[in-house]
A and B are shown apart, each in its own frame.
Chain A
Amino acid sequence: MDRRDFLRTCSAVVAGGVALASGGLLAARASTKEGEVFWQIDPYKCTQCGRCETDCVLTVSAVKCFHANKVCGYCDLCGGYYRPNVKELNTAAENMMCPTGAISREFVEEPYFEYTIDEALCTGCGKCVKGCTSFGNGSLFLQIDQERCQQCNECAIARVCPSDAIQRVSDENAYKLKDHA
Chain B
Amino acid sequence: MNNKKLTLLTIGVIVFYLCLIIAWHLYDPSAHFTESQPGADHRPAGHVRKADDVLIGEFFMQDNGQQTTDNGQPSTLKGEWPCFRGIHRDNQTTLTPSMKWVEGNFEEMWSVETGEGHAAPVISEGKVYVLDYDEQLSSDALRCFDLLTGKQLWRRWYRVPMKRNHGFSRTIPAVSNGSVVTIGPEGHVMCCDKTTGEMRWSIDMKKRFGTEIPFWYTGQCPHIQGDELVLAPAGKDTLMVGIDLQTGSTLWGTPNTVGFKMSHSSVMPMTLGGVHTYVYIGVGGVCGISAEEGSRGQLLWSASAWQPSVVAPSPLQISPNQIFLVAGYGAGGALLQVDKQGATWTASIRDSYKASGGMSSEQQTPINYQGTLITILPKDGGGMRERLAMYRPSDLHHPIWTSAADERFGLGPYLVIGDRLLAFKEDGELYVYQLHSSSMTLLRKQRVMEDGIDAWGPMAYADGMLVVRDSKIIKCLKIATE
B35 & A93 in contact (Cβ 8 Å cutoff): yes
Q: List 23 A–B pairs whose Cβ atoms lie within 8 Å, in order of A's numbering.
A: A73-B61, A75-B59, A76-B49, A77-B139, A77-B159, A84-B138, A86-B51, A87-B161, A88-B38, A88-B51, A89-B49, A90-B39, A90-B41, A90-B43, A91-B37, A91-B41, A92-B36, A93-B36, A96-B36, A105-B41, A107-B44, A111-B59, A134-B136
Assess the B138–A92 pair: CB atoms within 8 A: no
Q: Is the interface of A mostly helix, strand, loop or mixed?
A: loop
Q: A85-B161, A90-B48, A107-B43 are in contact. Are A131 and B59 (CB under 8 A)?
A: no
- Check B343 for interface membership: any CB of A closer than 8 A: no
Looking at the assembled complex, report how far the CB atom of B108 sits from the nearest CB atom of chain A, in whole angstroms.
22
Task: Give every chain B residue within 8 A of A85 (Cβ-Cβ).
Answer: 135-136, 138, 161
- Residue-wise interface mask of A (57-75) relative to B, using a CB-CB cutoff of 8 A (1 in contact, 0 not): 0000000000000000101
What bracket does the count of chain B residues touching chain A fall in? 20 to 34
Name the B residues within 8 Å of A134 (CB-CB): 136
Q: Which A residues, 90 to 137, have Cβ-Cβ distances below 8 Å to chain B? A: 90-93, 96, 101, 104-107, 110-111, 113, 131, 134-137
Q: Which residues of B contact A84 (CB under 8 A)?
A: 135-138
Which chain B residue lies CB-closest to A109?
B44
Contacts of B35 in A (CB 8 A): 93
Cross-chain contact B136 with A91 (CB below 8 angstroms): no
**Chain B minimum-CB-distance residue to A130:** B136
Question: Is there contact, CB below 8 Å, between A135 and B39?
Answer: no
Most buried by A among B44, B59, B141: B59
A55: shortest Cβ distance to chain B, in Å? 25
Chain B residue with Cβ nearest A134: B136
The answer to whether A88 touches B49 (Cβ under 8 A) is: yes
Question: Is A110 in contact with B49, judged by CB distance below 8 angstroms?
Answer: no
Once A87-B51, A89-B49, A107-B43 are accepted as A-B contacts, the answer to whether A131 and B136 lie under 8 Å apart by CB is yes
Residues of B within 8 A of A136 (CB): 61
Among A104, A111, A137, point to the contact of B40 (Cβ < 8 A).
A104
Please name all residues of chain A whose beta carbon is closer than 8 Å to the beta carbon of B44 when the two chains form the complex: 107, 110
- B212 at interface, CB cutoff 8 A: no
B36 interface neighbour in A82, A101, A137, Cβ under 8 Å: A101
| Interface class of chain B by DSSP | loop
B42 touches A (CB below 8 Å): yes
Alpha-carbon distance between A129 and B193 when the two chains are bound, in angstroms:
30
Residues in A whose Cβ lies below 8 Å from that of B159: 77, 89
A89 to B44, CA, bound (A): 13
| 9 tightest A-B CB contacts, nearest first | A90-B38, A93-B36, A89-B49, A91-B40, A84-B136, A105-B41, A107-B42, A87-B51, A92-B38
Set of chain A residues within 8 Å of B41, measured between Cβ atoms: 90-91, 104-107, 113
User: Does B380 sit at the interface, judged by CB under 8 A?
Assistant: no
Given contacts A75-B59, A107-B41, list 18 more A-B pairs with CB under 8 A.
Answer: A73-B61, A76-B49, A76-B58, A76-B59, A79-B136, A84-B137, A84-B138, A86-B138, A88-B38, A89-B51, A90-B43, A90-B49, A92-B37, A104-B41, A105-B41, A106-B42, A134-B136, A135-B136
Choose among B36, B49, B58, B138 the residue with the greatest number of A CB atoms under 10 Å from its CB.
B36
Output the nearest chain A residue to B163 by Cβ-Cβ distance.
A85
Question: Which of A77, A79, A88, A106 gathers the greatest number of chain B CB atoms within 10 Å?
Answer: A77
Report B39 CB to chain A, min CB distance, Å.
7
Q: Is the C-beta of B47 less than 8 angstroms from some C-beta in chain A?
A: yes
Inter-chain CA distance A134–B49, complex, in Å, is: 23
| Chain A residues with CB below 8 A from B59, complex form | 75-77, 111
Over the window 37-53 of chain A, the binary record of Cβ atoms lying under 8 Å from chain B Cβ atoms (1 yes, 0 no) is 00000000000000000
Does B50 reach chain A (CB closer than 8 Å)? yes
Q: Does B362 contact A (CB under 8 A)?
A: no
A178: min CB distance to chain B, Å: 14
CA gap between A79 and B44 in the complex, in Å: 21
Nearest CB in chain A to that of B35: its residue? A93
Across the interface, which residues of A come within 8 angstroms of B36, CB to CB?
Answer: 91-93, 96, 101
Give every chain B residue within 8 A of A135 (Cβ-Cβ).
Answer: 134, 136-137, 141
Taking the nearest CB of chain A, how far is it from the CB of B50, in angstroms? 7
Q: Which B residues lie within 8 Å of A79 (CB)? A: 136-137
| A111 (CB) vs chain B CBs: closest residue | B58
For B138, the chain A residues whose CB sits under 8 A away are: 84-86
Give the residues in chain B near A137, CB-CB below 8 Å: 61
What CA separation (Å) do A96 and B41 show in the bound complex?
Answer: 12
